[in-house]
Structure 1
Amino acid sequence: MQRICVIGGSRYFGKLLVQRLQAAGHQVTVINRGAAPPPPGVTHLVADRDDETALTAVLGSRTFDVVVDQICYTPVQAAIATRVFRGRTARYVMTSTIEVYDPATAALPAVPYDTLVPEDIVDPATWLVRRDLPWHDAAYLEAHYAEGKRQAEAVFTQDSAFASVRSAHVLGGGVQEFTGRLAHYIERISRGTEIAVHAEVLPTVFIHYEELADLLLWAATATDFTGPVNACSDDPLDVRSLAAVIAAQVGREPVYRTVPAGEAASPFSFDRHYAMSNTRATKLGFSFSRTTDWLPGAVAEALEASAPRAI
């Protein structure tokens, strides 16, 4: 049994992670702002992670074997966490994102279109941190989400016991799926509404929300790697392949509208390349599923969630 603290963990795969940690027999503490209590038996601490004084006070003298940070988006938040948890934990795991590799948001080394991107393309140990930027501004943070994650990783990297899990695009979970991207395609294909795609769409990578919870459990409790690992199922897909799986269950062909390169399109239509490689996590011992195996089930679940309910 380990003492594990989860910051966030109130919805989607974070909520599932808490449940799985508890089921595995670990002593779990959840820190959030109090809107969603954790399951019975989980210690619940209510604090705003942006308030360093309040976070320090609510922790008291508690220490942990592992902290899993689900909701760190900026270098300022990371800096607060490093100060608050210094000396309180032996390991810190941050949930990061595939978007750190988006070449549209940073000057990154070029990779061939047929190359899955390894972790060292974005090395947090060498990334420039700018805490003076307006990270507190919601609009700025939304527009600079990927850079916020890159800089947060860079701050945490100062601690030798830090690891980050860079998640692919997460699907599955029916009504829990808060991005709404799968529902976006189901609705448009079902109604025959046009889907905006680029003329040349490039593949990206996905992960089922349950598999991501499993990987975070593994990263927190079953291994001691440091640095980033990519979390994605095998089998990259482009947007047309994704839509084809949905169309097969909806019973209606997608209607596409082509947009020029560089213009906005529907989610997962990419005219730039940043599909991740999961080689490092695989070599460390995690076994990934294939996107093509779980995607039909995720679509069926989303269809069921969107179906009208009888009164």
Structure 2
Amino acid sequence: MKILVTGGTVFVSKYAAQYFAQKGHEVFVLNRGTRPQVPGVTLLKADRHSLGDILKPHRFDAVLDITAYSGADVENLLAGLGEFDQYILVSSSAVYPQTLPQPFQEDMPLGENIHWGGYGMGKIEAEKVLAGKVPGTYILRPPYLYGPMNNVYREAFVFDCAEQDRPFYLPGEGKLPLQFFHIEDLCRFMELLLEKRPRKRVYNVGNPKAVTVAEWVKLCYGALGKEPASISVPGDVPQRSYFPFLNYAYSLEVSAQQMLMPALRDLRTGLEEAYSWYKEHKEEVRAKPLLAFIEENLNAK
């Protein structure tokens, strides 16, 4: 297939570009050309908000829109595209209001989630614009994504703590549940949609089972062959100051995904792969001053 990937230089879009290129597809990436490109792709150098005619000569079998964060992002891309067959938008679980019963299901009403704010509202706008202009589009709503090429300081933070043999500061008793999805599983699911063309158009995607933060931290340390010594942090300490996730528990109902793709990467293996990548690419991760806060406020040794 001839595939257009928006972005192609950071985490999800970068991994997707590499994944489909290695599968033998003709992959084009749309970005401003300010970062290195993955091998085997063709760069279409432009900002998605000022495309000109750069996309018009091409007919794409699939558009993988991974960098749309607003309705305007989608409108501008559609205005610049020539002919295309299938379109997949990577949206977010942030489109579900926190007031809805959980697990969230695809047919639930969308709305503002106070934990995600403008990010979630932008994704809702992107979905609405696309559904109105391209009725046959596929929309994916993942939870927390992880794995190789993750430039967000999540599992990488725990890896840093493990490398330095630090105790890990857990929010409360570490019982907050988190739902994950490996980046390769996301790409495999997109590949299945392009091949099978199911009638269902909107999918929650993710591991069917959540894990507690204590379990997740233990698996992250385990990727280095270590066991964490944990210290409980009381709830009056701002969680995002020392821990990489919001104090917000949610779950997605993913049975439709499971019917199409029942086999998923287990979290232990996925985190081992994530660490293998991270230790060779630390400069690509946007570290946050979590350790500095711990040193100054939680008496870390």
Q: Shorter-chain TM-score category?
A: 0.7 to 0.9
> Are 1:93 and 2:88 counterparts?
yes
Matched with 1:185 is 158
Give the secondary structure class of the aligned counterpart of 1:161: coil
Matched with 2:178 is 204
Counting only pairs closer than 5 Å after superposition, residues 1-311 of structure 1 correspond to structure 2 as 2-36=1-35, 38-39=37-38, 41-51=40-50, 55-85=51-81, 88-101=83-96, 103=98, 108-111=99-102, 116-123=103-110, 144-158=118-132, 159-173=134-148, 176-188=149-161, 190-192=164-166, 195-198=169-172, 201-225=175-199, 227-248=201-222, 249-260=225-236, 264=240, 266-268=243-245, 270=247, 272-283=248-259, 285-289=260-264, 291-298=266-273, 300-301=275-276, 304-305=279-280
Matched with 1:138 is none
Shift in Å, 1:269: 5.5
Q: Residues 184, 42 of structure 1: CA spacing in aligned structure 2 closer, same or farther, 3 A cutoff?
A: closer
Question: What is the percent sequence identity of the aligned residues?
Answer: 21
Q: Hey, what's the Cα distance between the residues in 2 that align with 1:26 and 1:295?
A: 25
Q: Hey, what's the Cα distance between the residues in 2 that align with 1:23 and 1:299?
A: 19
Aligned length: 274
Contact 1:22/1:42 (8 A) holds in 2:
yes
Give the secondary structure class of the aligned counterpart of 1:259: coil
Stretch deviating more after TM superposition (193-202 or 153-162)? 193-202
User: Tell me, which stretches of 5 or more residues in structure 2 are unaligned?
Assistant: 283-301
User: Tell me, which stretches of 5 or more residues in structure 1 are unaligned?
Assistant: 129-141
Q: Hey, what's the Cα distance between the residues in 2 that align with 1:102 and 1:12?
A: 26
Contact 1:64/1:89 (8 A) holds in 2:
yes
Q: Hey, what's the Cα distance between the residues in 2 that align with 1:298 and 1:24?
A: 19
Give the secondary structure class of the aligned counterpart of 2:53: helix
Q: Hey, what's the Cα distance between the residues in 1 that align with 2:271 and 2:17?
A: 26
Query: Deviations for 1:178-213, whole angstroms, at most 9, x for unmatched residues?
Result: 001112223345453552514684322111222222
Q: Residues 303, 43 of structure 1: CA spacing in aligned structure 2 closer, same or farther, 3 A cutoff?
A: closer
Contact 1:98/1:168 (8 A) holds in 2:
yes
Q: Residues 195, 147 of structure 1: CA spacing in aligned structure 2 closer, same or farther, 3 A cutoff?
A: farther
TM-score by length of 2: 0.78
Matched with 1:133 is none
Q: Hey, what's the Cα distance between the residues in 2 that align with 1:71 and 1:262?
A: 30
